[in-house]
Structure 1
Amino acid sequence: MNRSLGPLSALYIATSTGLAWTAVLELRHGPVWAACLFAATSLVPVIAVVRESVIRDQRRWMAELERRAAGAETADHIVRGELDTACCERWWTSCGTDHDTSCPRRVPRSSAA
């Protein structure tokens, strides 16, 4: 999260308030076109506050997606490791009790009890 969002939003709101107040003063004592210009200009900082909050939400969403993706990659590494340590197809189908004849990890059965 961006720590500057709070002070930056406060600055935007203060600027917007100042411009709106100037628009009111211009409407009372000055030309109408200047009052309209200041009124329109006072909306720009409000748009900036909304934009900053949307960007903050998008960053949170992306961080959440990256966190979930990292978890999925970890699971993929675990599964890949387990598959790499598997011996052969017969080992899989016999729940690890038998091996194929061509399996390099085949241990001959002993007749000793």
Structure 2
Amino acid sequence: MNRSGRLLCALYLATSGGLASTTVLTLTHGPRWAALLFAAASVVPVIAVVRETLIRDLRAACAGPRRPARSAADEIVREELYAACCERWWTSLGADHDAGCPHRIPRSSAA
């Protein structure tokens, strides 16, 4: 967890402590329904801390081993191979299509 995440968790826990102390004060000097409300509210920041730690764990799991960056040439080749729609289109330089090709309209290879 980074510094801002730790600070946020500390603020959540301080808020939860403040609400818990307000619960005790309200329980002794105030209406029971307000004490119940403060008790429920003091649980919410604890849930937020659990959520922050879960997000941290998920980010760490997703990061995993880094893949090497692809070069510009690899990206160009990948895009050109992705743009080819069938074998005959590829071998005829974009003039013809296979019978099962969904793009049977002849595509020109001219720029």
TM-score range, shorter chain: 0.5 to 0.7
1:41-83 deviation digits (Å, cap 9, x = unpaired): 000000000000000000000101x52xx16x9xxx9xxxxxx
Q: Which runs of 4+ in 1 moved over 6 A?
A: none
Matched to 1:10, the amino acid is A
The match for 2:55 is 55
The match for 2:28 is 28
Question: How much has 1:2 moved relative to structure 2?
Answer: 3.3
Question: How much has 1:5 moved relative to structure 2?
Answer: 1.0
Matched to 1:48, the amino acid is A
Distance in 2, Cα, partners of 1:2 & 1:53: 11
5+ residue gaps, structure 1, are 78-113
| Bigger proportion of residues as helix | 1
Matched to 1:59, the amino acid is R
Distance in 1, Cα, partners of 2:33 & 2:17: 19
Name which one, 1 or 2, has greater alpha-carbon Rg: 1
5+ residue gaps, structure 2, are 75-111
The match for 2:12 is 12
Work out the number of aligned pairs and report it. 70
Describe how 1:54-73 pairs up with structure 2 within 5 A.
54-64=54-64, 67=66, 70=67
* Same amino acid, percent of matched pairs: 63
Helix, strand or coil for the counterpart of 2:45?
helix
